[in-house]
């Protein structure tokens, strides 16, 4: 294994030397390289969190390590760190669950930490039992039995009130009409079935946020739906109408109200039909139309509001030239969605057309095309002094992972900082005692060569300041 990672060594001593440190055994050298499994890296991560992270962050990190990091001895890890986790829990649980002040004995504190860890694991369909850890006391487990209800009732009314006061004055006339109609329905317990239609940039998401901050968040699943005043379903045209109709039948059944659509609950739908419709594998046009919500028996019952004003053009920092550019692009994009531009060619299938992308929107094919694209998206200041605010508005969307990896490597090479290399620890886990056959069939060198969707490569190259996404 060392020979796969230690290049150019001329002796056994050099093979066991990692970062100018000579290790006594090959195994110790492998551990220093980080290519062996073990809990030391998780111990170091939790020790660092103990010094720098808040108590909730420390517990969250412990849960993430349990779920995603293949800990070999969770019980040992628990005994090492549980006493560093509980200080803020009694006050928070007392406030959230409306319990009297909780005692701070060691047994109570341990139970409180277990309760909090179990709650976080439950939200990811896991449990402490999955890792052979102790469970919280039975009376605390009863509180967790309906985790959906507990999570929805954790909202902060003071925070929502402040956010509501900020958002509502920013609604335009179209949004305010919809907002008033929905709020009136919720306040007076009147059922409303509404579809909000608008292309990207008209403020649908902003409207949802304003409504959910105004309407108190009341929300296992049946109890959640019983206590819900309003259901907002965004991106609904992408969903098959059978899902839509299943919601109607389920609500009627749960609420014991078969005479009213959706059991009497108010429903708001939103999206733009110019975007993706339900995906039917190898489906014909007729099958796709049949799967659309507009083909549902429920669709005629919805009142439609149309948002037309492009709120992205109302940004105060934009110049008139920038506004005109965005407006022109928006109109061109909407025309594609409406099918009013494009020409049919012999290679086009029925009901399709070829659209010529304007010259000014294209980067011409050349040896420097990729660099030009990167420089267009990430200017020099962003690359060398990146901030979260700058990066959250910039992205290069790729159709294939291979292309994304190539662009990521190119962008990384443009940063000034030295490259840091991190190697994965890979092993094939046999089902039972197979006499070592699994390791013979799948040696580490082979596993290191595999790249899977959703997982980082075996050799991960990073630089300080480079943006990364943690999943």
Q: What would the DSSP string read from start to end of 292-335?
A: SGGGSTTGGGSEEEEE---GGGG-TT--HHHHHHHHHHHHHHHH
Say if CB 25 and CB 18 are below 8 A apart. no
185-212: string of b/e by CB count within 10 Å (b at 16+)?
Answer: bbeeeeebbbbbbbbbbbbbeebeebbb
**pLDDT grade, residue 216 (50/70/90)?**
very low
DSSP 3-state of 266: strand
* pLDDT of res. 172: 82
Average pLDDT value for the chain = 80
Does position 470 have pLDDT exceeding 80, yes or no?
Answer: no
279-307: string of b/e by CB count within 10 Å (b at 16+)?
Answer: eeeeeeeeeeebbbbeebebbeebeebeb
- Which of 95-104, 206-215, 374-383 comes out lowest in average pLDDT? 95-104
Please tell me the pTM assigned to this model. Answer: 0.50
Residue 407 CA to residue 4 CA, distance in Å, equals: 27
Question: Which residue in this structure is represented by tokens 């992408």?
Answer: 238
Joined tokens for residue 39: 């809990």
* pLDDT of res. 145: 54
Cβ partners under 8 Å of residue 249, min gap 6: none
Cβ partners under 8 Å of residue 40, min gap 6: 31
Does position 215 have pLDDT exceeding 50, yes or no?
Answer: no
Does position 386 have pLDDT exceeding 80, yes or no?
Answer: no
- Which of 33-42, 280-289, 330-339 comes out lowest in average pLDDT? 33-42
DSSP 3-state of 193: strand
Residue 311 CA to residue 209 CA, distance in Å, equals: 15
The alpha carbons of the chain give a radius of gyration, in whole angstroms, of 28
Give the CATH number of domain 157-312; options: 2.60.40, 1.10.10, 3.40.50, 3.90.700.
3.40.50
Residue 208 CA to residue 392 CA, distance in Å, equals: 21
Among residues 58, 104, 105, which one has the least CA distance to residue 80?
58
Joined tokens for residue 349: 């299938």
Distances from the Cα of 422 to the Cα of 35, 99, 140, 446, 459, angstroms? 9, 46, 41, 18, 6
Joined tokens for residue 85: 């986790």
Residue ranges per structural domain of the chain: 2-33, 40-145, 157-312, 318-360, 364-462
| 148-153 contact pairs (CB < 8 A, 24+) | 148/219, 148/220, 148/221, 148/223, 148/224, 149/219, 149/220, 149/223, 149/224, 149/227, 150/119, 151/123, 152/217, 152/218, 152/219, 152/224, 153/217, 153/218, 153/219
Residue 21 belongs to what H/E stretch?
A: strand 21-22
- Which of 56-60, 84-88, 200-204 comes out lowest in average pLDDT? 200-204
Q: What number is the average pLDDT over the span 264-288?
A: 84
**pLDDT grade, residue 204 (50/70/90)?**
low
Strand pairing partners for 42?
A: none
């Amino acid at each position: 294994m060392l020979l796969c990672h230690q290049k150019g060594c001329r002796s056994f001593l050099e093979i066991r030397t990692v970062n100018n440190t000579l290790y006594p055994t090959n195994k110790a050298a492998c551990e220093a390289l980080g290519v062996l499994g073990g809990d030391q890296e998780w111990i170091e991560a939790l020790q660092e969190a103990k010094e720098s992270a808040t108590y909730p962050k420390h517990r969250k990190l412990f849960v993430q390590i349990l779920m995603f990091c293949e800990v070999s001895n969770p019980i040992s890890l628990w005994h090492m760190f549980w006493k560093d986790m509980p200080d803020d829990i009694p006050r928070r649980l007392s406030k959230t669950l409306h319990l009297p002040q909780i005692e701070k004995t060691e047994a109570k504190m341990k139970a409180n930490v277990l309760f909090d860890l179990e709650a976080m694991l439950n939200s990811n369909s896991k449990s402490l039992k999955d890792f052979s850890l102790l469970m919280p006391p039975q009376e605390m487990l009863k509180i967790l039995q309906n985790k959906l209800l507990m999570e929805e009732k954790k909202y902060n009314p003071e925070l929502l009130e402040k956010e509501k006061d900020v958002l509502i004055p920013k609604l335009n006339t179209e949004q305010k009409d919809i907002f008033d109609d929905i709020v009136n329905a919720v306040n007076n317990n009147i059922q409303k079935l509404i579809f909000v239609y608008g292309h990207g940039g008209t403020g649908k998401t902003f409207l949802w946020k304003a409504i959910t901050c105004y309407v108190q968040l009341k929300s296992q699943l049946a109890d959640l739906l019983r206590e819900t005043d309003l259901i907002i379903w965004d991106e609904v045209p992408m969903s098959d109408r059978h899902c839509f109709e299943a919601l109607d039948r389920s609500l009627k059944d749960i609420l014991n109200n078969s005479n009213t659509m959706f059991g009497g609950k108010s429903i708001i739908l939103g999206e733009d039909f110019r975007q993706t419709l339900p995906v039917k594998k190898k489906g014909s046009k007729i099958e796709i139309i049949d799967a659309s919500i507009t083909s549902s028996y429920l669709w005629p019952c919805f009142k439609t509001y149309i948002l037309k004003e492009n709120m992205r053009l109302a940004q105060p920092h934009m110049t008139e030239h920038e506004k005109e550019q965005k407006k022109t692009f928006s109109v061109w994009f909407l025309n594609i969605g409406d099918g009013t531009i494009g020409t049919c060619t012999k290679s086009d299938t029925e009901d399709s057309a070829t659209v010529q992308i304007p010259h000014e929107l294209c980067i011409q094919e050349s040896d420097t095309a990729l660099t030009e694209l990167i420089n267009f998206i990430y200017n020099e200041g962003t690359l060398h002094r990146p901030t979260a605010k700058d990066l959250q508005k910039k992205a290069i969307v790729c159709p294939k992972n291979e292309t994304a990896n190539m662009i990521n490597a190119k962008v990384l090479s443009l940063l000034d900082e030295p490259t840091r290399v991190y190697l994965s620890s890979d092993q094939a886990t046999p089902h039972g005692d197979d006499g070592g056959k699994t390791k013979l069939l799948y040696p580490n060198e082979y596993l290191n060569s595999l790249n899977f969707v959703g997982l980082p490569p075996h050799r991960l190259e990073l630089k300080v300041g480079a943006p990364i996404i943690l999943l």
